[in-house]
Amino acid sequence: MTGRLKDVDQLMAAHTAVGGPKPGRKYELVGLNRAAVLMLSSHFEGYLEDVMAEALAALNPQLNAPTLTGGFHNPWPDRIDELFAFIGMQKPSKNISWQKASNSAVRKNLETLVRTRNKLAHGTTGVTVNKTDVARLRKYVEGFAERFDKAVRSQVHALTGKNPWT
């Protein structure tokens, strides 16, 4: 996921380069914030599809990941649970949390990401996205991915006796 987040980081660096580092609303840069949310959601969805493809390849190289992930759109927590149930994971998004981030907060922020992405992608006007929103959502996506990667790795290990990745 780290490599995927570089696009979001570049947009936020452009935001700082154009708007400066001082806090405060920068109305002329809202487009960069919106683009960052779209990119973050897109890369999160792609990350989940990649993790599923790697898990399937470790379980059985003949399994076709695109057949399974082709209908996976928008990384809602419940949709993540449905997708990964295929490899025997029971509602994995409900087990992700970390210090100062309860599972409820994790799920709420992922839902906010997807909801905001959908509004932006489908042309809803008046959607406000601040730089602090992007930073918060990025933190939750990165934290989720870090822990989710371990959970999927553990599940594949439990099924095969081998670690699919390190």
Going by pLDDT thresholds of 50, 70 and 90, the confidence category of residue 85 is very high
The backbone torsions φ and ψ at residue 38, rounded to the nearest 5 degrees and listed phi first, read -60, -45
Q: What is the pLDDT of residues 11-43, one digit of tens each?
A: 988 988 887 777 777 667 889 999 999 999 999
Measuring CA to CA, how many Å separate 53 from each of 97, 123, 148, 163? 24, 31, 14, 15
Q: What is the pLDDT of residues 91-149, one digit of tens each?
A: 999 999 999 999 999 999 999 999 999 999 998 988 989 999 999 999 999 999 999 99
Q: What pLDDT is recorded for position 97?
A: 97
Q: What pLDDT is recorded for position 148?
A: 97
Going by pLDDT thresholds of 50, 70 and 90, the confidence category of residue 2 is confident
Q: What pLDDT is recorded for position 20?
A: 73
Spatial separation of the C-alpha atoms in residues 30 and 7, rounded to whole Å: 16
Q: In the predicted model, what is the mean pLDDT of the chain?
A: 92
The gap from C-alpha 41 to its chain's centroid, in whole angstroms, comes to 6
Q: What pLDDT is recorded for position 129?
A: 93
Going by pLDDT thresholds of 50, 70 and 90, the confidence category of residue 87 is very high
Q: Which amino acid is at 8?
A: V
* pTM for this prediction: 0.93
Percentage with pLDDT > 90 across the chain? 75
Spatial separation of the C-alpha atoms in residues 8 and 132, rounded to whole Å: 13
